[in-house]
Amino acid sequence: MQKGVILGLGEFGYYLSLSMAKSGVDLLVIDKDEVRINKIKNFVTDAIIADVIIEDDLSVLIPDEHIDFAVISLGNLEASLLATLYFKDKNFKNLYVKAINDQHLRILKKLKIKNILFPERDSAERLGKTLSLKTILEYIPISSNYRLIEVKAIHKIANKTLQELHFRKIYKLSIIAIKNESDYTFDLTAQTKINKNDILLVIGTDEAIEKYNKLAEKEKKRFPAFRGN
């Protein structure tokens, strides 16, 4: 069973805690607000009322036994940085920190925090890409360079096998799965065929995604009946 710690029960921290608790994670949550703690305490393993700024040593609150991950989702900049430094001093690897603002983001980058969360910005970017790239059905950043997207199969690749297409070589995108009328198929082979109404789950760079989107936009003008658009 995974063991984790979440510090801060704002909207993000609360719903993250609920989600992880429902998934069976052994979860400790910490927040200074008694109302927030009372709201979540029946769903998690342990819930502690504490102010990170007042506590001299977080080790009093956080057990020494093995912890798989820690998420800092505190709304106070000083508290968030104190908690971040605590885990950094312990050389804790699996640390996720929610950035409060751009200044906080810059500080976290200076501290070389690898997993920085910026939910509002990330959600806005994701929605913006989904809305602006008209042929993209879903857009999920998975690193600074790569994105996971759902995209419609363009006309020129329909009714061809993956072996015939050389898709990765031509489009610089890797097909992870293909969705037909029923569900995704992840067990792909060279002989897997892409049909007219299929949706592709692919991974690639923004540059490759933009190029594919432009091709799809051109095809929509040439084949207005394709996929009913």
CA 99/CA 107 separation, integer angstroms: 9
CB atoms within 10 A of CB 55: 19
Is there a contact between 28 and 48 (Cβ–Cβ < 8 Å)? Answer: yes
Ordered structural domains, the chain, with CATH: 3-117 (3.40.50.720), 122-228 (3.30.70.1450)
Instruction: Please give the average per-residue pLDDT across 46-70, as a whole number.
Output: 82
pLDDT in tens, 197-206: 888 888 988 8
Q: Which two tokens stand for residue 190?
A: 């060279």
CB atoms within 10 A of CB 191: 9
Q: Residue type at 45?
A: T
E-only strand ranges, 90-189 = 95-98, 115-117, 136-141, 146-152, 160-161, 174-179, 184-185
Is there a contact between 58 and 52 (Cβ–Cβ < 8 Å)? Answer: yes
pTM above 0.85, yes or no: no
Kind of pairing, strands 160-161 and 146-152?
unpaired
Give the mean pLDDT of the chain.
84
pLDDT in tens, 175-188: 989 988 778 888 88
Per-residue pLDDT for 48 more than 70? yes
Is there a contact between 153 and 180 (Cβ–Cβ < 8 Å)? Answer: no
Pick from 8-22, 93-107, 178-192: least confident: 178-192
Per-residue pLDDT for 56 more than 70? no
pLDDT in tens, 113-170: 988 888 877 777 766 766 665 555 666 666 667 888 888 888 889 899 998 988 988 9
